[in-house]
Amino acid sequence: MKQSPWLVVGSGAIGLFWACKLKSLDHKVHLVYRSTDPGKKITLDSLVDESGQQQAETHTYKIKTFTADTLEKQYQKVLLCTKSFDLVEAYQQVSEHLSDDADVVCLCNGLGAQDQLQKQLQPEQTLWAGVTSEGVLKIEHNHIKHTGLGDTYFGPWLPSEATIDFPLEGFGVRNIHQRIIEKLAVNAVINPITAIFNLHNGDILDDEYGTLMEATLAELESVFTHPKFAYAEHSQHLSYDNLKNRISTVAKLTRLNRSSMFEDLRLQRQTENDFISGFLMENSPIKLTVQPLLYEGVNQPDSRPEVQKKLLSLT
């Protein structure tokens, strides 16, 4: 039987990376872009091999590219690689080209967008949510660099779908909610703090930010271990020490990197703040102090200097 192509939506760093990844795994790939055509050839610079060793390699992949309005085929598998706030619109733009029982896969930061997307799906379509720690940098419209080796996992968003196998062997897990919340915890610390203070990821471990880090982690522990938190069954293990170890590890491994939120502010782009700090503020069973300040610091440039002072004076 002829293999059905994957439809990858999004030509940012992660979208281009996964188009190349799927191609390297011998899958047919069609890529949807919104504004800038990446062309028919995508160059991937790999600075790490599968064992994590430094090894510079360059591969070029031929991939068919389309805008949503030029699609003609029907697709059984779609991978949405967009920012959280674009997720629903990305699905809607290609929905008429998806089969009634399509596998709809999303790879975005934060929480909240997945539920919004689930409400848009056809009854027989299956939503798979993903999380990744791959480091990828977009250099040009058709050129990306793999800067850090990480893991990517996908799992069924609805528990009722848990017995179904993910359509890409080796990437499926049963409890994707736990992994997404663990990534949310990291993002809720590293992203806003680096963005507000103009820091590389590793700088958040400097003594100057020690008290702020302690206050942020203590507050997150109170949310994630609270029995009334919306995802409590998946987050009880996120104690202060667990959170500290996870975030310190990521900050050290990516110490020279700039977070996506830092880059969004630098380039005056919309951030995923509503799906990180905003999600925690909306879903916390307790009154929060730190996350509202982080949220304001990211969203309100005029008040950022004052927010910086408040954050550094937390005890």
**pLDDT at position 54:** 59
Bridge partners (DSSP) of residue 79 are 8, 105
Residue type, 23: K
For the chain, residues with pLDDT lower than 50 are: 1
**pLDDT at position 135:** 84
CATH 3.40.50.720 domain extents, the chain:
6-173
CATH 1.10.1040.10 domain extents, the chain:
178-313
Evaluate if pTM is beyond 0.85. yes
Tokens 């805008």: give the residue: 67
**pLDDT at position 314:** 93
Buried b (16+ CB within 10 A) or exposed e, 184-197: bbbbbbbbbbbbbb
Distance between CA 167 and CA 170 in Å, rounded? 9
**pLDDT at position 1:** 41
Grouping H, G, I as helix, E, B as strand and the rest as coil, residue 151 is coil
Fold for the domain defined by 178-313: N-(1-d-carboxylethyl)-l-norvaline Dehydrogenase; domain 2 (1.10.1040)
> What is the pairing mode between strands 126-132 and 152-156?
antiparallel
**pLDDT at position 52:** 53
The tokens of 149 are what?
Answer: 């080796």
User: Whose CA is closest to 195, among 114, 277, 250?
Assistant: 277
Q: Cα torsion at 255, 260, 261, 262 (round to 10°)?
A: 50
CATH of 6-173, one of 2.60.40.420, 3.90.1150.10, 3.40.50.720, 3.20.20.210: 3.40.50.720
User: Whose CA is closest to 298, among 274, 315, 281, 282?
Assistant: 274
User: Whose CA is closest to 213, among 181, 182, 183, 246?
Assistant: 246
Determine the Cα angle at 263 with ends 64 and 38, to 5°: 15
